Amino acid sequence: MSISNAGRAPVDEEFNSSDLEYDVPVEKSRRILGQRSIVKIIENAQELRVSSKKTSKQLSYGTGRQNTQDVKHRAVQRLNNFRTHSLKQVDLKVAPSGEDMLRFMDSIIGVIVPNRRNKAVPNASTAAAMIQVLVEYSIFTYNRSLTPQEKARIHTWYDDAKKNGRLTTGKWAERIRVGISTLSMMSKAWLSFHVKNGTISWDITIYKLFSVVLTSALACRVGDLARSTLSYTLEYARWQDVEIAIPTDSPGTIGWKDFEAQFTLRYTKFKRDTPRNNDIVYLSPLDDEDTNHICPLTLMILHAMRHGLVMPVGATSLQEVIDYAAASESRAIEWVQPTYPLMASLAHSRLCLEVPAQANQITQTVKLMGIMTGIIGTITGHSLRTGAARDVAHLPSKVFDGVGITSSSVAAVLNHSTATFNRGISRDYAGEQTALVFNARAKVMPTPRGLPKVTNEDMAALYKKPIPLKEVQLWQAENRPDDPDPNSTNSRRNARNAMRHGRLEKGWETVPSTRQTTSNTILRDLPTNPMVLASSVTSSATKEASIRSESTPASPMPHPLETSFISQIDPALLSQDQIDQLSHMVEDEGYMTAATFDMTEHDLSEVEVVSSDLAKLQILIAPMVSDGSQTIDHVDGDGEDDGDVDLDEMHALLGVEEDEPDNQSGEVTSAHGFVAKWSRVNIVCNSRFERAWLSCTEGRVSLEDSIGPFCQFGNTRDSPTPFQFVCTTPTCDYSTITKPTLTQHVDGCTTEKIEAKLAVPRPFTCNRAGCQASFTSKHDLSNHTNHNHAATRKPCKDAETWGCDPIVMYTVKELAAHRHTHGFPTRCTFDGCEHQRQFASRNSLRSHIKKTHKISSAGYMPAEIRKRSLIDQPERSDAQSQERKRKRDTIDNVDEPQ
């Protein structure tokens, strides 16, 4: 034995370790792990064999959400069709080579049409994403990856395409950031535009403003609130996701600013499949009374009150909502329909509250608000998000001290690595930050350099200018000759949108612009209609009562008016109902709202308005605001100041007591007045509503059968009334409820004619109580008396011919207006006329024939209505006619009234 083997055991040369066998030790356990699932597999072995094979064989390429899968399938279909038709490859079971993909990409970038207008070639990122999809498809379907050589060749082609201008890089459109200062301008412009030009529904106007302001306040994507295109049906924000409550037990009186809101965003991007990983945003009412138009909570309550979506049901003021919430056990505002979508869909003149809106609705609203504001450039829904980021970047750092921002210190305490911190796991541990970011933005109101350029030119009028069908067809032939169905509604709508956008781009290049930071519009001085006149005495007594029975909102603390002052106004402008209503002007924290004034188109055209009477009437119906100083700004129909009026004189005129009015709000803020004003306005600008309005006010048709289908009423809304189109000629006080009628009037209205009319002496004055109408002749005075003060009523004698209701009785004036509706609405009967809409009156039809067809012959024009005296009065002998003419001439030659 050698020394090296000392101490070792002798080795048997015949021993082989392979002869040794050991069993795997069995872990001792009281039960077999997975026993329940194993038993299930054994019991359902046959079914699992079939179902698993079916799943494996039917598995198709495509990952992600529905819209992402559609993009991938589109790329695959394009590749397969290219291989079949261009490369003549019959067998698609063979994997495409890298050369096939390169040739396909070289062809497809010259075929696809970019979504952006005026963009000739697609973006480089689009081509890169398509290449990645094709590589994934090849691996999934054929188990084939690109070789290094194929990858290098495709990369070289991609780089050459960018250099040669076949692919664009970077952002195509200029990025416009809508911060809170720009949002304030846009909101004021939005309300001012619809006050000036009318709206089909104030419900829609206020809701759209709320949707944009809320998106900006939450700094979220439009798809986080509304339903994204092709997304699952239930993925949208609901009313139950918003909790507005009193955070602490306040010992004193609860006010609006004591509330705080928590918004839960459940379906944000990249978190739609994680239902318990939600984003929380906190808001509270804005502190500045001049920012109510951009306060998401104020607009939310305003929107909910108009539709009866907030408790108590039928609440007519913000204070009622506050009191109900303060008295409840949860001390939170309660929603009537918590499962309804927060963003509702639109259906022409009304909101479908139970149907969720698509995200594109908010995007289109933001774009339109930018046009109305005069912003140079196109803004999108994402502009609100980037603008919020810019605002936050300009906030002082102390805003974010102690509000739950997850920092590296939090990760250090949790012993999280940098990679774990970067993945957001530390933030998931710490929870959401609790800063009131939007309130800080509103308080600081950042106005950084690089704000959007704004022009004072009316770009909305340019954008909304009608485009004739012939121009659309010509544009389609020049720009989209390959359109398979150019006459379809979608094709023509897209063509019109492209033409309007082209108008804007040309206008933006020529108009002067500045970087404006604020708006001079004062919303509480803004009337809800440029000019509203009352209906006649004879038609208001029954009609106004029937309309107001549907909606009877309560008015806070009325102030009486002096009857003597009202009596000085021409009764042709005020009905008895409205004289009664004028004694209940509503003043609510800086907002003064008059009762609803009604009128008909024919009534307005017949009323003789004296300038002094009109001035007195405007004092009553124009919104006024007391700012605590010694003056009150009187806002006229054009939204300009008439001048300062002494406060004492105004109080004496209105009969207001010297004591301060009771404040029912419980706090000193204009939020109550803002809600009171904009929750009531219900002025409709709709041609179908205008035609139905005449039928309703004449009593021929009920409210539900006439204006009901074209407007909303009830809850806090006032009774629906038509929008008044006002003549723009200086010193002319003409207005009407139909735009074609105004257009016809403006064509012949000049300042010279108005001045000549006012210069004519009017010595004959109506002696009826409260009526101060005056005329140039006694004959006109007699007509005025018969038309406006006659007590007798007659039925329509042509009821059988035109299908009128023979039971309805009319005054002389009402009958004259009614007879003009015979045979209308109707279409133009001129051969080859492409005008599809019906004409509501003879005047509109005559104007159409003259302007469109350049014809004024009597044979083509609708027959004129003969004077009533020629129809209803018996024929007179020559002697009677001569005697009547002699008496009239004698009266007309009198210089002064008897």
Each residue of 656-685: pLDDT tens digit? 333 433 334 334 347 898 998 899 999 988
Give the per-residue SS3 of 117-185: CCCCCCEHHHHHHHHHHHHHHHHHHHCCCCCHHHHHHHHHHHHHHHHCCCCECCCCCCCCCCCHHHHHH
Higher pLDDT, 191 or 65: 191
Residue 185, pLDDT score: 93
Percent of the chain with pLDDT over 90: 31
Instruction: Decide if pLDDT at 282 tops 90.
Output: yes
Instruction: Decide if pLDDT at 791 tops 70.
Output: no
Instruction: Decide if pLDDT at 610 tops 60.
Output: no
Residues 619-644, mean pLDDT to the nearest whole number: 34
Tens digits of residue pLDDT in 504-528 = 888 888 888 887 777 777 776 677 6
Report which listed range, 123-127, 539-543, 622-626, 790-794, is most confident: 123-127
User: Whole-number mean pLDDT of the chain?
Assistant: 77
Helix, strand, coil shares, percent, the chain, to 5: 45, 10, 45
Among 87-91, 247-251, 271-275, which is the least confidently predicted range? 247-251
Long-range contacts, stretch 622-628, CB < 8 angstroms, 24+ apart:
622/527, 623/524, 623/525, 623/526, 623/527, 623/528, 623/591, 623/592, 623/593, 623/594, 623/677, 624/592, 624/650, 625/522, 625/524, 625/525, 625/590, 625/591, 625/592, 626/587, 626/590, 627/590
Residue 535, pLDDT score: 33
Instruction: Decide if pLDDT at 637 tops 50.
Output: no
| pLDDT band, residue 783 (cuts 50/70/90) | confident
| pLDDT band, residue 878 (cuts 50/70/90) | low
Instruction: Decide if pLDDT at 17 tops 70.
Output: yes
Residues 764-787, mean pLDDT to the nearest whole number: 83
Residue 682 burial (10 A CB sphere; 0-12, 13-18, 19+): buried
CATH number of 180-394: 1.10.443
Three-state secondary structure call for residue 403: coil
Instruction: Decide if pLDDT at 696 tops 80.
Output: no
Query: Across-strand partners of 593?
Result: 586
Residue 569, pLDDT score: 42
The single-letter code of the amino acid at 294 is: I
Tens digits of residue pLDDT in 303-318 = 999 999 999 988 889 9
Tens digits of residue pLDDT in 563-591 = 333 344 444 444 444 444 433 333 333 33
Residue 81, pLDDT score: 95
Residue 513, pLDDT score: 80
Instruction: Decide if pLDDT at 558 tops 90.
Output: no
Higher pLDDT, 363 or 231: 363
Q: Domain extents for the chain?
A: 66-163, 180-394, 459-510, 523-749
Residue 448, pLDDT score: 83
| pLDDT band, residue 275 (cuts 50/70/90) | confident
